[in-house]
Structure 1
């Protein structure tokens, strides 16, 4: 089974005896083949860069989703501490008033 070729690719890229992209006419010079290879490698590099950016964005999004419950938990705990302090101070105040 031959690997998929990105739609943007042009030219020919040969690896392990398989050709990818368009077929070149026989007898073309080495310069033409070199240029076609450079073009194909540029397309491949571009695809790698796009995928790397997508992966980085996905990881950032996943980290944000994982951090969100932790942020909510910390906010809840902070509110609970404030309520506990307020309740304790109210209790102490009631005791002082009762004396």
Structure 2
């Protein structure tokens, strides 16, 4: 089980990212628009840099929903390899069977 503080910190980052998503996208579009004057684009980049870092989507870490494990996760299931194996062995994941040959 992962530290509760790490799981909570990641959840906070997810909330901040969702909150700032529209504002961040608008500022990025201004920065990338070459038709606008340089001063306006620079102001937008300064405002973008002033936003909290934890609001950026790249700061979010994929964690297991059950255990909070940060490594060896399957994106499709949002589970770690250990939790996925346990659930699959118990028959909790439809269509997934243990390989045998």
TM-score (ref. length: structure 2): 0.24
Report the TM-score, using the length of structure 1 for normalisation. 0.25
Per residue, is there more strand in 1 or in 2?
1
